[in-house]
Chains A and B, each alone.
Chain A
């Protein structure tokens, strides 16, 4: 990973040039010049997620955005911050924490990944249950386009219906329609208290039922996870774990812990646990980082469906695992499951993709060995809305300057 970062390599390709512009205008100028010269550009934050997506069709210029790391406007009383997009999330969170606030995103690589990269990949974590995902937190942005212009969308206030909401197409767009240089975000007050309530179950169905009772309840926890993975603070073994991230006022947290624990016990839990302080924080960091340090031969699949389909997703993942018991974590209340699948072959992954689609969801391979990435679109099959996506790409990046070939349908 470190070597990849230094060399700006993507899927075995290396750029012939690296640009590290220091201002938004310079980003636009560099991108405009590259597009005019017919070059292919990979926008680069800190490189943590350059393994996501398909291999680029072409790759000439690495556009390193790490110099754009300034906070531009921050008025804590408004719960809104405007910052350059290259700021590392860790630095952004530290700045917000000084005022008792935070950005409610807990994606993988939370310390080092940049804001821009996090948004471009729509990376999320367990807290999405309560706070939503990037689309719920971004208020506005400034984006450099291949014509060398800076384009503004949205604004700096929490409610805004002026013009089209173009923020949305850049969030999760993998930098294929423009390069974010500035972002305005809605931030939240840090909860006064936090704790983890957890339980282990022998039976998946019982664990799912307990998790469901909790995430559908008036407890409104910050996260509810279904896990079967080695995690700090969790008993070793092959049991199913239910983890509840309790947050709020001290009294609220105690109520959440009490009810969640009781409901797990009523639901047949083998044992219960409670984590506070550093133990609590270490556990949730590990949940967010699940599957991010796998050997190269292991596939990390992100499977999605409506929450009640989590057991079916887990079963589909099991069929793609040599022992039928992949390590996995699921954002149970959100319908997102991550499974580590060592040595998964192309036919096995194709079957997994079909299974997820049959459940009304999708399978995305966030990490996969080169042979798999050559054979498959890591985003899965396109759907009948793909012509609209192509039309957007044609409008915003007609020459295929930005990350060509890396997005869904090799856009």
Chain B
């Protein structure tokens, strides 16, 4: 993900396709007939904020329709089919790999109106939701029953369940409880031909192929999701949150590997390095150790009896690995403050430079030390500061390259540096993305991990769902004629052209 925090990148838009005034084009008129005039956006200015998601990639929709029901989704999909237009489903647009960007134009189906929690079945610990339900809103609604929805992406206050399903989103607490696919049990889908299908369901082990499991993480290319059934978890009895400081990032890496190797699976195990801590301090976050080169945020959950033992064991491992200080959050307030710092870390990096490029790579957890050394070498080689703020316990890196895109050529160097880090992840037995997805950003890298035969199998699965390639086309797979280093690498030159 490339983020422009000050300058807004502007892409070349098609000319003359949608005028600012006058009668709407026929496609728009038909969309208005389906969803109502107020819910169809088509004028130049209305569409601007729908050209982006959380990545830098840009695409211009023909129109955006904010649907109010499943039936409207069905009609829009049929209409798009008739016009030969792509369909891209869109939640909150927080995705980080270009998944919601209409790189080939077409109709964006916005789900911001479908945000009803249809049912919370407390006894069976299931919830049925419309796809526009915001992730955190579900947890808030479930919390009065002592339940919560476990996957918690950093954007959980904005991102939607529909988007989470598309991207198979993760989050800080996925270490112990798994990612979206482990919590989604059923879906209602509208297929590219306009038919509606239910897959999976609240009951377990539905006979037949696990279509739910295939659709989760398919980045909106298999079907438009119109309803999501998830499982909810019981809030644990106790929680302890520790912040351990280290004089070297190597020690923090060793501590992480030592905890996992000891068979302790914390609810969360997050690392932040010195650059991140400095940025957070500049942004006004208090209570972080100024001298530390790295901190680990360790959260342990469970019954009172086991918790005390676990905390003692983790503290022992942290100290053995060279922790210079361990603080325990004494109150819920202190815990919240630590998590606010963690979840606000990316925003705070704007204190260092105007732009950041957030990478997402995964490595086997025992290889943390090596990969972080590579990150540091890459930083020196390219002369670019790189902050590390990530899910250490999962081996899910988020090196964050801070830069200034106004400096000529810097964006290209940033993308090249990101690619070098990803290459190392793959070399160490890891992969290209743990939770952000491939989308447009990493499609050119897909052959680093999958052979043509593997990719052909993925395309075959796609054909079973969307044989005419109508749903979110142009994502995930390397595109013929695209530059070898991927869409992201061209971002800088695209901006300069416009």
- Stretch among B108-116, B317-325, B401-409, B452-460 lining the A interface: B452-460
Contact A219 B303 (CB under 8 A): yes
A384 at interface by CB-CB < 8 Å: yes
* CB-defined contacts of B205 to chain A, threshold 8 Å: 122, 124, 133, 172, 302, 304, 336, 362, 364
Cross-interface CB contact of A100 among B263, B451, B460, cutoff 8 Å? B263
A384 to B205 Cα, complex, angstroms: 16
B197 at interface by CB-CB < 8 Å: yes
Contact A392 B395 (CB under 8 A): no
A70 at interface by CB-CB < 8 Å: no
Contact B461 A136 (CB under 8 A): no
A389 at interface by CB-CB < 8 Å: yes
* CB-defined contacts of A135 to chain B, threshold 8 Å: 181-182, 210, 213
A271 to B433 Cα, complex, angstroms: 53
Tell whether A75 pairs with B366 under 8 Å between CB atoms, given A132-B182, A155-B430, A391-B464: yes
B302 at interface by CB-CB < 8 Å: yes
- Stretch among A159-167, A230-238, A344-352 lining the B interface: A159-167
A228 at interface by CB-CB < 8 Å: no
Tell whether A217 pairs with B464 under 8 Å between CB atoms, given A135-B210, A189-B265: no
How many Cβ-Cβ contacts under 8 Å join chain A to chain B?
257
Contact B210 A171 (CB under 8 A): yes
Bitwise, A30-51 to B at CB < 8 A (1) or not (0) is 0000000000000000000000
Contact B476 A163 (CB under 8 A): yes
* CB-defined contacts of B170 to chain A, threshold 8 Å: 159, 161
* CB-defined contacts of A361 to chain B, threshold 8 Å: 203
Across the two chains, which residue of chain A brings its CB closest to B464? A391
Contact B210 A151 (CB under 8 A): no
A78 to B217 Cα, complex, angstroms: 24
Cross-interface CB contact of A384 among B198, B306, B460, cutoff 8 Å? B198
- Stretch among B70-78, B120-128, B284-292 lining the A interface: B120-128
B260 at interface by CB-CB < 8 Å: yes
Contact B213 A151 (CB under 8 A): no
Tell whether A145 pairs with B457 under 8 Å between CB atoms, given A78-B366, A163-B438, A251-B309: yes
- Stretch among B2-10, B38-46, B81-89, B357-365 lining the A interface: B357-365
A1 at interface by CB-CB < 8 Å: no
B199 at interface by CB-CB < 8 Å: yes
Contact A161 B436 (CB under 8 A): yes
Bitwise, A145-165 to B at CB < 8 A (1) or not (0) is 100011111011111111111
A80 at interface by CB-CB < 8 Å: yes
Contact B364 A80 (CB under 8 A): yes
Contact B203 A305 (CB under 8 A): yes
Cross-interface CB contact of A307 among B124, B302, B305, B449, cutoff 8 Å? B124
Q: Which residues of A, 178-204, contact B by the 8 Å Cβ criterion?
A: 188-190
* CB-defined contacts of B483 to chain A, threshold 8 Å: none
Tell whether A161 pairs with B217 under 8 Å between CB atoms, given A80-B364, A169-B210, A304-B203: yes
B236 at interface by CB-CB < 8 Å: yes
A216 at interface by CB-CB < 8 Å: yes
Across the two chains, which residue of chain A brings its CB closest to B465? A388
A362 to B203 Cα, complex, angstroms: 8
Contact A162 B431 (CB under 8 A): yes
A239 to B265 Cα, complex, angstroms: 38
A80 to B494 Cα, complex, angstroms: 42
Contact B458 A164 (CB under 8 A): yes
Contact A165 B363 (CB under 8 A): no
Across the two chains, which residue of chain A brings its CB closest to B210? A168
Contact A163 B450 (CB under 8 A): yes
Contact A77 B257 (CB under 8 A): yes
* CB-defined contacts of B123 to chain A, threshold 8 Å: 212, 216, 307-308
B211 at interface by CB-CB < 8 Å: yes
B216 at interface by CB-CB < 8 Å: yes
Contact B208 A151 (CB under 8 A): no
B480 at interface by CB-CB < 8 Å: no
Q: Which residues of A, 347-404, contact B by the 8 Å Cβ criterion?
A: 359-362, 364, 379-380, 382-386, 388-389, 391-392, 394-396
A21 at interface by CB-CB < 8 Å: no
Taking residues whose C-beta sits less than 8 angstroms from the other chain, chain A's interface range is 35 or more
Contact A161 B234 (CB under 8 A): no
Contact A151 B462 (CB under 8 A): no
Tell whether A164 pairs with B214 under 8 Å between CB atoms, given A151-B457, A308-B123, A385-B197: yes
A392 to B462 Cα, complex, angstroms: 9
Across the two chains, which residue of chain A brings its CB closest to B448? A162
Contact A76 B261 (CB under 8 A): yes
B201 at interface by CB-CB < 8 Å: yes
Contact A132 B435 (CB under 8 A): no
* CB-defined contacts of A155 to chain B, threshold 8 Å: 362, 430-431, 449
Contact B305 A251 (CB under 8 A): yes
Contact B462 A164 (CB under 8 A): yes
Contact A306 B363 (CB under 8 A): no
Contact B208 A382 (CB under 8 A): yes
* CB-defined contacts of A218 to chain B, threshold 8 Å: 234-237, 303
CB distance from A43 to the nearest CB of B (A): 16
A248 to B179 Cα, complex, angstroms: 23
A157 to B203 Cα, complex, angstroms: 29
Bitwise, B363-398 to A at CB < 8 A (1) or not (0) is 111100000000000000000000000010011100
A407 to B432 Cα, complex, angstroms: 35
Contact A161 B438 (CB under 8 A): yes
Q: Which residues of A, 242-277, contact B by the 8 Å Cβ criterion?
A: 248-249, 251-252, 254-256
Across the two chains, which residue of chain B brings its CB closest to A377? B207
A79 at interface by CB-CB < 8 Å: yes
* CB-defined contacts of A249 to chain B, threshold 8 Å: 305-306, 309-310
CB distance from B335 to the nearest CB of A (A): 18
Contact B461 A166 (CB under 8 A): yes
Contact B395 A159 (CB under 8 A): yes
* CB-defined contacts of A302 to chain B, threshold 8 Å: 205
* CB-defined contacts of B24 to chain A, threshold 8 Å: none
Contact A168 B214 (CB under 8 A): yes
* CB-defined contacts of B178 to chain A, threshold 8 Å: 132, 136
Tell whether A408 pairs with B207 under 8 Å between CB atoms, given A77-B366, A218-B237, A388-B197: yes
Contact A395 B461 (CB under 8 A): yes
A14 at interface by CB-CB < 8 Å: no
CB distance from A205 to the nearest CB of B (A): 14
* CB-defined contacts of A334 to chain B, threshold 8 Å: 204
A297 at interface by CB-CB < 8 Å: no
B174 at interface by CB-CB < 8 Å: yes
Contact A394 B217 (CB under 8 A): no
A364 to B207 Cα, complex, angstroms: 8
Contact A408 B431 (CB under 8 A): no
* CB-defined contacts of B124 to chain A, threshold 8 Å: 306-308, 335
A343 at interface by CB-CB < 8 Å: no
Contact A169 B214 (CB under 8 A): yes
* CB-defined contacts of A165 to chain B, threshold 8 Å: 168, 181, 213-214, 216-218
* CB-defined contacts of B316 to chain A, threshold 8 Å: none
Contact B303 A385 (CB under 8 A): no
Cross-interface CB contact of B234 among A157, A169, A216, A389, cutoff 8 Å? A216
Across the two chains, which residue of chain B brings its CB closest to A396? B460
B434 at interface by CB-CB < 8 Å: yes
* CB-defined contacts of A386 to chain B, threshold 8 Å: 208
Q: Which residues of B, 394-451, contact A by the 8 Å Cβ criterion?
A: 394-396, 429-438, 442, 446, 449-451
A–B Cβ pairs within 8 angstroms, 16 of them: A78-B260, A157-B430, A161-B435, A161-B436, A163-B446, A164-B476, A173-B210, A216-B123, A216-B125, A220-B303, A248-B302, A307-B123, A307-B124, A336-B204, A364-B207, A379-B208
Q: Which residues of A contact B (CB under 8 A)?
A: 75-80, 100-101, 122, 124, 132-133, 135-136, 145, 149-153, 155-169, 171-173, 177, 188-190, 212, 216-220, 248-249, 251-252, 254-256, 302, 304-309, 334-336, 359-362, 364, 379-380, 382-386, 388-389, 391-392, 394-396, 407-409
For the complex with contacts A251-B306, A252-B305, 14 further pairs of A-B residues with Cβ separation under 8 Å are A75-B366, A77-B257, A122-B205, A135-B181, A162-B450, A164-B458, A166-B214, A166-B458, A168-B213, A218-B235, A252-B303, A307-B123, A383-B208, A396-B461
User: Which 7 residue pairs are nearest across A and B when measured between Cβ atoms?
Assistant: A189-B263, A168-B213, A159-B434, A391-B464, A252-B306, A77-B261, A251-B305
